[in-house]
Amino acid sequence: MTEPKRAPGGFPVVGVVGGGQLARMMQGPAIELGVQLSVLAEDEVASAALVIPSSPVGRHTELDHVLDFARSCDVVTFDHEHVPQHVLQALESEGIVMRPSRSALRFAQDKLAMRERLSELGIACPRWAVAREAAHVERFGEEVGWPVIVKTPRGGYDGKGVIVASSTADAESWLAHVGEPGPMSDGLLLEERVEFTRELAALVARSPSGQAAAWMVVETVQTRGICTEVLAPAPDLDPGLGSRATEAALRIAGELDVTGVLAVELFEVPGPAGRPGYVVNELAMRPHNSGHWSMDGAVTGQFEQHLRAVLDLPLGDPRPRARWTAMANVLGGDYPDLYSAYRHVMARDPSAKVHMYGKGVRPGRKLGHVNVSGTDLADARERARHAADYLQGAITQ
Ligand code: ADP
């Protein structure tokens, strides 16, 4: 087995499979901690490959590529959840240290497995069923009411892989793929359409020793299936709901033996006697868009915390540094020259924190984000939004 190339001082090498923006944002804290990152990148110009000197190019679906890469690292973690189980299994058999583990990751990779497990644990979920044929969709629609939400169990992101079906006919093109090798091989996930009041996320980190830390519950704002803003903490959150959501996230992390950051996406729903409740939408076992605010808004940001957790170091303090932090995503538009916007954005608002990912501009693609902290939520939100809109070319002043 290739020995990991440790830096002087005995600092370990953390390998990240996938060279996206999450791996890239881990590099700042890794540099500060003296930890070496290595990234298995899709190509030389992947977001993380541009800033991490050790970025071998390889595919996360190719066993040999992942195995060769993993052998040169002390611990392996992930930029996304798309590494196939058979690849993870081979790493596990070789004794490679993976955080999160293969068995935990399954519940972030496969929404059917996630629904089954969370239901077993008694965690509140939307009513759901598995569909292998049209009759299953028909029956579920009659039971919970149309429209129903149809999801591919694996491979979806940013709302790709979710359809709102008004009738069974809307699910037919996907039903045709059930049973074929691929994301729908085991069937489709059907969910009732939840009449939620808003979307929330509970973000926690857990280490192999079992230490855990929770950031405050945030509100996530989605536009056409893509997260565009995060408000930390979620404004006017019922305190009981905040603690129950945090407890649920910590319990999921413990029961599923998650190591690293776990994001639990939630829908807030009206509950009995006017008290709000929640149901879990999905899980991500890695730093998550809902935690980008923490890079500037918390004592310990999610990327540093993920590194501490996967290295089984004591976790950092997750408490906020400010009353409010608003995060706005910068999405690709028609305007390719992002840097030319810096002068205006920085001059207008010296306390806005801009984070860019070094990615090529494509419409709707997440290219960066802006964090603004302060004592007034409406003001912080407006300033973050303005900076992001200006960067993405949606406004010119
Ligand atoms: P992805 O993994 O592609 O991000 P999600 O399962 O998070 O997909 O769904 C994307 C968005 O679709 C959610 O943020 C939410 O707005 C909406 N959605 C998903 N499931 C439901 C549901 N059961 N009821 C209502 N809306 C839903």
Q: What is the pLDDT of residues 23-59, one digit of tens each?
A: 999 999 999 999 999 999 999 999 999 999 999 999 9
Output the CA 299–ligand 1 centroid distance in Å: 30
Place of tokens 């190019």: 57
Q: Looking at the structure, tell me whether residues 317 and 387 fall in a common domain.
A: yes
Instruction: Report the alpha-carbon distance of residue 208 to residue 101 in Å, rounded.
Output: 10
Residue 221 predicted with pLDDT over 90: yes
Answer yes or no: is 264 within a domain: yes
Q: Looking at the structure, tell me whether residues 216 and 170 fall in a common domain.
A: no
pLDDT in tens, 80-97: 999 999 999 999 999 999
Q: Looking at the structure, tell me whether residues 378 and 244 fall in a common domain.
A: yes
Answer yes or no: is 376 within a domain: yes
Domain boundary among 166, 192, 218: 192
**Which tokens go with 184?**
């729908």
- Atom 15 in ligand 1: residue holding the nearest Cα: 225
AA identity, residue 228? T
pLDDT in tens, 325-369: 999 999 998 877 899 999 999 999 999 999 999 999 999 999 999
Answer yes or no: is 120 within a domain: no
**Which of 115, 219, 281 is the best mutation target for the ligand 1 pocket, counting ligand atoms within 8 Å of the beta carbon and taking the most?**
281
Domain of residue 265 covers: 198-392
The residues pairing with 204 across neighbouring beta strands, listed in sequence order, are 214, 262
Q: Looking at the structure, tell me whether residues 280 and 359 fall in a common domain.
A: yes
Place of tokens 């973000």: 203
Q: Looking at the structure, tell me whether residues 319 and 382 fall in a common domain.
A: yes
Residue 1 predicted with pLDDT over 70: no
Instruction: Report the alpha-carbon distance of residue 48 to residue 233 in Å, rounded.
Output: 29
- Does residue 158's CB lie within 6 angstroms of at least one atom of ligand 1? yes
pLDDT score of 395 = 86
Instruction: Report the alpha-carbon distance of residue 352 to residue 263 in Å, rounded.
Output: 25
- Does residue 193's CB lie within 6 angstroms of at least one atom of ligand 1? yes
Q: Helix 111-120 to helix 102-109 angle, to the nearest 10 degrees?
A: 110
Q: For residue 281, how many other CB atoms are within 10 A of its CB?
A: 21
Q: Looking at the structure, tell me whether residues 151 and 255 fall in a common domain.
A: no
Structural domain count, the chain: 3
Answer yes or no: is 86 within a domain: yes
Q: Looking at the structure, tell me whether residues 370 and 243 fall in a common domain.
A: yes
CA 89 to chain centre: 23
Between 274 and 181, the higher pLDDT residue: 181
Q: Looking at the structure, tell me whether residues 262 and 380 fall in a common domain.
A: yes
Answer yes or no: is 116 within a domain: no
- Does residue 162's CB lie within 6 angstroms of at least one atom of ligand 1? yes
- Does residue 92's CB lie within 6 angstroms of at least one atom of ligand 1? no
CATH of the domain at 24: 3.40.50.20
Domain boundary among 138, 162, 192: 192
- Atom 8 in ligand 1: residue holding the nearest Cα: 159
- The helix/strand/coil state of 320 is strand
Instruction: Sheet containing 148-151: give its strands across.
Output: 128-131, 188-192, 148-151, 162-165
pLDDT score of 366 = 96
Average pLDDT over residues 215-244: 96
Answer yes or no: is 118 within a domain: no
What is the C-alpha end-to-end distance of the chain, expressed in Å? 57
Ligand 1 nearest atom to the CA of residue 192, by list position: 23
| Distances from the Cα of 138 to the Cα of 133, 141, 162, 190, 306, angstroms | 9, 5, 17, 11, 43
pLDDT band at 3 (very low <50, low <70, confident <90, very high): low
pLDDT score of 396 = 85
pLDDT band at 225 (very low <50, low <70, confident <90, very high): confident
**Which tokens go with 192?**
């009732």
- DSSP assignment letter at 118: H
pTM of structure: 0.96
Name, in order, each residue with C-beta under 8 angstroms of 74's C-beta and a sequence gap of 6 or more. Answer: 4, 6, 12, 13, 14, 15, 97
Ligand 1 nearest atom to the CA of residue 193, by list position: 24
- Does residue 163's CB lie within 6 angstroms of at least one atom of ligand 1? no
pLDDT band at 156 (very low <50, low <70, confident <90, very high): confident
Q: For residue 276, how many other CB atoms are within 10 A of its CB?
A: 18
Domain boundary among 160, 192, 224: 192
- Atom 2 in ligand 1: residue holding the nearest Cα: 157
- Does residue 57's CB lie within 6 angstroms of at least one atom of ligand 1? no
Output the CA 159–ligand 1 centroid distance in Å: 6
Output the CA 281–ligand 1 centroid distance in Å: 7
Answer yes or no: is 169 within a domain: yes
Instruction: Report the alpha-carbon distance of residue 25 to residue 356 in Å, rounded.
Output: 9
Q: Looking at the structure, tell me whether residues 182 and 212 fall in a common domain.
A: no
- Does residue 351's CB lie within 6 angstroms of at least one atom of ligand 1? no
CATH of the domain at 385: 3.30.470.20
Q: Looking at the structure, tell me whether residues 38 and 55 fall in a common domain.
A: yes
Residue 113 predicted with pLDDT over 80: yes
Q: Looking at the structure, tell me whether residues 218 and 261 fall in a common domain.
A: yes
Answer yes or no: is 167 within a domain: yes
Q: Looking at the structure, tell me whether residues 207 and 146 fall in a common domain.
A: no
Three-state secondary structure readout of 347-359: HHCCCCEEEECCC
Ligand 1 nearest atom to the CA of residue 225, by list position: 11
